Amino acid sequence: GQQVMQIPQYQHVQEGEDFTTYCNSSTTLSNIQWYKQRPGGHPVFLIQLVKSGEVKKQKRLTFQFGEAKKNSSLHITATQTTDVGTYFCAGSGSARQLTFGSGTQLTVLP
């Protein structure tokens, strides 16, 4: 079945440093979504990418979808303490479901 792998599992950064998490799928994806889950909270939708090579920005967050539609990344510029949480990618392929990665837990040290 479809597998989605995410690295790193944990990332500690100093406030103001950049952060990147990477997502790789075992199969070609029709789209990829990114979610953020704060400690004790539930996943909250950030963005969806559909096109090969697509790049989208939301303020300090930059999302990319690979040319082969099998990988994606999320980059945060100049992290802030409000960025703390776990970031999940979730991809869908031929199956009628979203497959989530295991997430990257981001800690931002003040």
Partner 1 sequence: ETGVTQSPTHLIKTRGQQVTLRCSSQSGHNTVSWYQQALGQGPQFIFQYYREEENGRGNFPPRFSGLQFPNYSSELNVNALELDDSALYLCASSLQSGFAGGDTQYFGPGTRLTVL
Binding site for partner 1 (CB under 8 A): 1, 4, 6, 30-31, 33, 35, 41-45, 48, 88, 90, 92-93, 95-103
Min dist. Cβ of residue 68 to partner 1 (A):
18
Query: Which residue, 18 or 30, is less far from partner 1 as judged by CB?
Result: 30
Query: Which residue, 17 or 47, is less far from partner 1 as judged by CB?
Result: 47
Min dist. Cβ of residue 2 to partner 1 (A):
10
Give the C-alpha distances (Å, rounded to integers) separating 94 from 17, 29, 31, 99, 101.
38, 8, 10, 11, 17
CA dihedral 13, 17, 18, 22 (to 10 degrees): -10
Mapped onto helix, strand or coil, the DSSP state of residue 17 is coil
